[in-house]
Structure 1
Amino acid sequence: MKPEIMTTEVLGYPAVGLRSEAAELMMVPQLGGRVISLKNRKSNREWLWHQDRPDWLWANKAGDNFGLSPQAGIDECIPSVASCNFKGRQIPDHGEVWYQAWDLDIKALDQGMLTSTLELQISPLKFSRTIRLMDEHTFLFDYVLENKGFEEEPFIWCIHPLKNIYEGDRLLLPEEVNSLRLDGGIGVLIARGDVWKYPEPFSGTRLDLCQVPGTGNELCVKGFAGPLQHGWAAIENQHTGDRLDLYWDPKLVPYLGLWINRGLGGFHHVALEPCTGIPDSLTIAAEKWKEIKTIQGGEQLGWSLKIVVR
């Protein structure tokens, strides 16, 4: 379908977006290709979280702490989510692309596609993402990764979509997901690799209701499901009926990360994170857990993610 193309400025940064009668999406190429808004135009629900402050967007540079970035909306993480040293390269926290300005393809924009590309500064990789509207409710994210080097490169790709939490929100995961392999958390004692039952690891604590066990005001947890047979996850509000679905090919993207934050940094948000490798550290994924994708020298790989706003 032919979408309405939006161009504007948000807090001084050029932003571009796509809109149908039912949904709209807005991104800022200059700020790591960050998607800052994903809205249901019928109910007016904004799915993406940002900090509750007037200056909630700003630019970052290489070496900046991700925790001091805007963290607003959707970031892309590649080739690692956690900071690590891999092949003698110091990979930043949340990867190499969130702090870079992306090159927006103006010709593709005229055709209703948000296509952006950038070359990573540390790893020999080139990353491209195209967003288009498939129908009034569905955004398709197409990804292409190219290895510009000569050697095989292990990598983790993970989409990092921080979503608002409203009363009545419930996470919906495939029936095959009955446990999570943990990577970390705050408020409860966790060792990397521990396994929790899903959705109720402890009596009275429901992860699917965005609850986190433990004590204190800064509770959070990160865990993984997979490898999966079904590439699907959703959030549905039991009061309003608002729903957000994610669909992907589990042969290409075998895992789902779940991040729930109930107070860390004073923030409350949840993220369903399809990913190609686990845990968050590329070094641990490649050398210890052996749960990783690789790309050969000179090769290109592609995968897709559908996001449905209903």
Structure 2
Amino acid sequence: MPDPPGEGAPSLYPVRVPDPEVLVVRGWEVLRLTSEGLVVDLVPALGGTVISLRRRRDELELLWQTPWGLRHRGSVDLPGSAEAAMYDSSPGGWHSVFPNGGDSATAHGAEWGFDGEARLTWLDWRLEGTKLVLSGRLVRSPFEIVRTVVLRDDQLTITDTVTNVGAEHVDVMWGQQIALGGALIGPDTVVHAGSTTVRSDPRLASSASYDDLMPWPRAYGQRGLVNLRGVGREDTPESRLAYLSDFTEAVIRVRRPSQDLTVELSWDELLWPHVWYALETGASKGFPWFGTGRYLAFAPGTSWPAHGLHDARRISSTLLRIHPKGTRSASLAVRVTGA
């Protein structure tokens, strides 16, 4: 397996990852990892979802967390759609998208759920030298998943490895989604991306189709053309959804000078050539945010649009086929620095 992006050359003196602090939060086991620069909380029983990423020197939260956060374990969910069920179970943060992405889809005789099953899968964990390794088996598709977490100084790298343990090939959507929020989102926030191609999602853009190609940072929004570099004014709420492709460099940087803050994302573009860009700044009324949503989310992955397997097959032909015993591995690294 290649080294995750940004880890650099191996040290002559490998540093063992500190034992995680094991917390119990609302009945869930939460692992807390701490480096010189960052504090990370993740939940093994929710697919290793990272629910908090904080700058250590001032406890500045960098991830969007849902208004209800990590719900009490065993909370009763109301009946409803797959999308509603996804929001019921979502604490926000950074999670796997596998083997489906976005809208629920039925495949191989089972419903795969909104954003797939991996984000809800119970993962056992262990320490392996400099790495925290989480592993588990999906139920509705024939995959084992291993999530490897490396925290060094100001960078967190998560590598997902998926293996088809079934006897037939399976087409999947695969990636990771990180929802940035907190002090990172404000009127002076600026996004820099190495993408050269942008496709707007017609569901959230007026007079747009999937065939419309725009150069970064232009896209169609709800009220015409928008500049994806900025997040807009607080008095002009927006919802955006677009797909970035054809990267000259697989890097996205989000800067907020007033907080002396830059968050840099880098990933394995060969396996994850597309990135979903989603912005919410209070335009979505009713469930689930009731006008309070405020996040900037990115999802590097294999496929687009963010509307389930069948749309990805029909619209873009970007599904990934994994054959029996086939294994794929890809990483997303997040580095936090000053502005």
- Verify same fold: TM over 0.5: yes
1:85 correspondence with 2:93: no
State which of 309, 312, 318 in structure 2 corresponds to 1:282.
309
Cα deviation per residue 1:203-227 (whole Å; 9 max; x = unaligned)? 7843221239xx996x422211114
Moved more, 75-84 or 220-229: 220-229
| Structure 2 Cα separation of the partners of residues 56 and 298 of structure 1 | 35
1:101 correspondence with 2:122: yes
**8 Å contact from structure 2 (residues 31, 41) kept in 1:** yes
Map 1:122-137; keep pairs closer than 5 Å. Answer: 122-133=140-151, 135-137=152-154
State which of 27, 36, 39 in structure 2 corresponds to 1:12.
27
**Structure 2 equivalent of residue 298 of structure 1:** 325
| Structure 1 Cα separation of the partners of residues 51 and 168 of structure 2 | 35
**8 Å contact from structure 1 (residues 104, 117) kept in 2:** yes
Q: State the secondary structure of the residue aligned to 1:67.
A: helix
| Structure 2 Cα separation of the partners of residues 58 and 77 of structure 1 | 23
Map 1:19-34; keep pairs closer than 5 Å. Answer: 19-34=34-49
| Structure 2 Cα separation of the partners of residues 45 and 160 of structure 1 | 20
Across the aligned residues of Structure 1 and Structure 2, the Cα RMSD in angstroms comes to: 2.8
Offset of 1:22 from its aligned partner? Answer: 1.0
Moved more, 283-292 or 123-132: 283-292
Amino acid at match of 2:71: L
Offset of 1:81 from its aligned partner? Answer: 1.1
| Structure 2 Cα separation of the partners of residues 21 and 72 of structure 1 | 24
Cα deviation per residue 1:45-76 (whole Å; 9 max; x = unaligned)? 211111345x6434588967112233421121
| Structure 2 Cα separation of the partners of residues 290 and 308 of structure 1 | 32
**Structure 1 equivalent of residue 297 of structure 2:** 271
Offset of 1:200 from its aligned partner? Answer: 3.7
Judged with a 3 Å threshold, the aligned counterparts in structure 2 of structure 1 residues 286 and 187 are, in CA distance, closer, same or farther, namely closer
Q: State the secondary structure of the residue aligned to 2:313.
A: helix
State which of 163, 166, 171 in structure 1 corresponds to 2:180.
163
- Structure 2, unpaired ranges of 5+: 1-14
State which of 252, 258, 261 in structure 2 corresponds to 1:233.
252
**Structure 2 equivalent of residue 50 of structure 1:** 65
- Structure 1, unpaired ranges of 5+: none
| Structure 1 Cα separation of the partners of residues 32 and 201 of structure 2 | 34
| Structure 2 Cα separation of the partners of residues 204 and 181 of structure 1 | 12
**8 Å contact from structure 2 (residues 38, 153) kept in 1:** yes
State which of 244, 247, 259 in structure 1 corresponds to 2:278.
259
Offset of 1:98 from its aligned partner? Answer: 2.2
**Structure 2 equivalent of residue 201 of structure 1:** 219
| Structure 1 Cα separation of the partners of residues 216 and 232 of structure 2 | 12
Offset of 1:197 from its aligned partner? Answer: 4.7
Q: State the secondary structure of the residue aligned to 1:65.
A: helix
| Structure 1 Cα separation of the partners of residues 200 and 106 of structure 2 | 21
Amino acid at match of 2:112: I
Offset of 1:267 from its aligned partner? Answer: 0.9
Offset of 1:173 from its aligned partner? Answer: 0.4
Moved more, 231-240 or 3-12: 3-12
Report the TM-score, using the length of structure 1 for normalisation. 0.85
Cα deviation per residue 1:268-308 (whole Å; 9 max; x = unaligned)? 11112111222222222234411232211111111222211
**Structure 2 equivalent of residue 119 of structure 1:** 137
**8 Å contact from structure 2 (residues 186, 231) kept in 1:** no
| Structure 1 Cα separation of the partners of residues 154 and 203 of structure 2 | 34
Q: State the secondary structure of the residue aligned to 1:286.
A: helix
Q: State the secondary structure of the residue aligned to 1:224.
A: strand
Percent of aligned pairs with the same amino acid: 20
Judged with a 3 Å threshold, the aligned counterparts in structure 2 of structure 1 residues 19 and 308 are, in CA distance, closer, same or farther, namely same
Report the count of equivalent residues.
300
Amino acid at match of 1:201: A
